[in-house]
Amino acid sequence: MDRILFTVLVFISTGTLAAKHVFISEKMSWDKAQVFCRTHHTDLSPISNAVEGRVFKESLSGIQTGWVGLYWDVTELKWKWSGGAADEDQGWLNDCWVSDSTYAYRFFCLNLIMVQEEKTWEEALEHCRGNHGDLTSLLSETGNLLAQREIQDPTITQRVWVGLRFLGDTWLWANGDPLEFQAWTQTGDPDQQCPVQKRCGALTKQGEWENRDCQEKLNFICI
């Protein structure tokens, strides 16, 4: 395999992060790990931003060495995430090192859970928190692309609920993640709506965010 891969010093946690990123204890090469993650979960784990990188480092216990989804694209000559976009923020890479892709390491899979039940936003939130971790947050272009890939089946509603909610005077993620990356549709203004309408966020099959009526019933993505 003509690519350079990254391993990362990470830790294993409980709670939302552990639900989102599944630690696989079986050792595999990067290629086999990618196939495993895509078969059984979503993809090799991206680290969406510096905040998520710090959460991996600070809130987890039991240090392990493991593959994540970052690789060097020899055609485009840039770092990219498996199944996603270019890596724009490499500030967390001090805790990583280049490794031969044929080495066998434990690894981390992103675990997005597509729920094909039609529920209001609040019902979807309750379902995710009661059965999984939370409604998903989309913290980067890569995370958005991976979620978009999961909802292309024609049996899935044209848009799906994610953890976006307008409260007070701002949009936020229900699980408390920072809202830095945004992918709002160009046709709407999510900040100029009636007080009780269109205050919940959905991801479309085109990969854009829409503000929708919270009582609308859609499929949704849990972590």
Amino acid 154 reads: P
- 3-state class (DSSP) for residue 22: strand
Query: Domains of the chain (ranges plus CATH)?
Result: 21-110 (3.10.100.10), 113-222 (3.10.100.10)
The string of pLDDT tens digits covering residues 71-126 is 888 888 888 899 878 876 655 555 556 667 888 988 889 999 999 999 999 999 99
Amino acid 155 reads: T
The tokens for 154 are 């024609």
The string of pLDDT tens digits covering residues 2-45 is 455 544 444 333 356 666 888 888 999 999 999 999 999 999 99
Average pLDDT of the chain is 83
Q: Are 158 and 185 in contact (CB under 8 A)?
A: no
Q: Specify the pTM.
A: 0.83
Please report the pLDDT score of residue 12 as a whole number.
36
Count the neighbouring beta carbons within 10 Å of the beta carbon of residue 54: 14
Tallying the residues shown for the chain, one arrives at 223
